[in-house]
Structure 1
Amino acid sequence: MEVRVIRSNRKTVAIQVNSDLTVTVRAPKYVSEKYIEQILREKESWIRKHIDEIKAKKAQHEAGNVKPLTRDELQKLADEAVEYIPKRVEHFAKIIGVDYGRITIRNQKTRWGSCSSKGNLNFNCLLMLTPPEVIDYVVVHELCHRKEMNHSKAFWSEVEKVIPNYKEYVEWLKNSFLWHVSG
């Protein structure tokens, strides 16, 4: 398996399995190669599981079960998202008690949403193909990053206050084949 290590000023080690079946390890600058190798060994079954899932999704896509969206279809989804998502952001920001910056809608390949340290929010136009409850979960997830810029227990506690059954939406997104409809 091909592994790429990216070092930065982060505090923890993160492992990402990419759609091209490579593995990216994001690590603090001070972490040794030996420690990274140890973590990769410890997480080998998790990595293999994710590689197998990606292979299965690609096989299903290649079998013709998922049709890529046209440029016009993607534009229509983006237009719908521009109308719908900011209203949901405004609604949930009041409930959570946070402010936010700019809202951007994109056709992203690897993320449903993101929140910058300045409070700018990005959302994937493909969210418009998901159930409304899933959109609300992603909106709440990103807004909760205005309180906790991480995925700590405190962060998930904030999400759970607003969406008690958030785990089922996390699972729905993990098992979604939507990443393949954008071509």
Structure 2
Amino acid sequence: MDMDKTEKNQEKFTCGEFEYQVIRSARKTMTLEVRRDGNVIVRAPLRTGLPRIKKFVNQKQEWVLGCLERTKEYREQKPLSADLSESKRNVYIRKAKETITKRVSYFARLMGVSYRNITIREQKTRWGSCSSEKNLNFNWKLILAPPEVLDYVVVHELCHLKEMNHSKAFWDEVGKVMPEYETYKLWLKENGWKL
């Protein structure tokens, strides 16, 4: 019975050059996700009308096409950091430091928060952290992720300067800056290990 219910909540539609799947569930917001295998998924609340979903996808069309282009490039490569030589790895670490520093500076101004130091590390299980002394740490492998995912981790850590927890208030802060953050959070959960 449950299987049937789930199936009914999955529909496929086309927007321009890509096809997308709609999955309705008991949720409050609509999100759009482009998977690394090239599948495009819209997650929507149960009662959301189709015209609203189509309008939502239409507005994000350029972003989706950009993501699909990157996923194609990703699929043509093998796991990204596994075979990097020491010198290549150092190039990426320098690039990560430069890019992340710029994005932290940009979002900190936007959010009206201040921080002390930024450290770039290689961590097995963490993408970023924020200490009570306002020091920020980031994993250099974020430079291998789509730019929106890197931005999500930056915003996530900066929001800890306002809320040092993962309460509803914290996620509300993240949502103010990046309403579609759930898409990037899920991307990291599903694809982070491949970086």
TM tier, smaller: 0.5 to 0.7
Q: Which residue is 2:99 aligned to? A: 84
Q: How far is the alpha carbon of 1:108 from its aligned partner?
A: 1.1
**Is the Cα contact below 8 Å between 1:108 and 1:124 reproduced in 2?**
yes
Q: Which residue is 2:176 aligned to? A: 161
Which 4+ residue blocks in structure 1 deviate beyond 6 angstroms? none
Q: How far is the alpha carbon of 1:73 from its aligned partner?
A: 2.5
Structure 2: distance between partners of 1:87 and 1:180: 25
Matched residue of 2:107: which SS? helix
Deviation digits for residues 136-157 of structure 1 (CA, Å, limit 9, x no counterpart): 1000000000000000000000
Task: Tell me how large the CA RMSD over aligned residues is.
Answer: 1.4
**Pairing 1:40-59 to 2, within 5 Å after superposition:** none
| 1:132 equivalenced with 2:147 (yes/no) | yes
| 1:110 equivalenced with 2:96 (yes/no) | no
Structure 2: distance between partners of 1:180 and 1:140: 22
Q: Which residue is 1:123 aligned to? A: 138
| 1:75 equivalenced with 2:90 (yes/no) | yes
Identity of matched residues, %:
59
Deviation digits for residues 114-141 of structure 1 (CA, Å, limit 9, x no counterpart): 1001110001110000111111100000
Q: Structure 2 regions of 5+ residues with no counterpart? A: 1-77
**Is the Cα contact below 8 Å between 1:74 and 1:107 reproduced in 2?**
no
Q: How far is the alpha carbon of 1:180 from its aligned partner?
A: 5.3
**Is the Cα contact below 8 Å between 1:74 and 1:125 reproduced in 2?**
no
Q: Structure 1 regions of 5+ residues with no counterpart? A: 1-64
Structure 2: distance between partners of 1:111 and 1:85: 15
Matched residue of 1:133: which SS? helix
- Return the TM-score normalized by structure 2: 0.57
User: Match for 2:193 among 169, 173, 179?
Assistant: 179
**Pairing 1:25-36 to 2, within 5 Å after superposition:** none
Deviation digits for residues 149-179 of structure 1 (CA, Å, limit 9, x no counterpart): 0000000000000000000000000011x43
- Return the TM-score normalized by structure 1: 0.60
User: Match for 1:150 among 165, 172, 185?
Assistant: 165
Matched residue of 1:146: which SS? coil
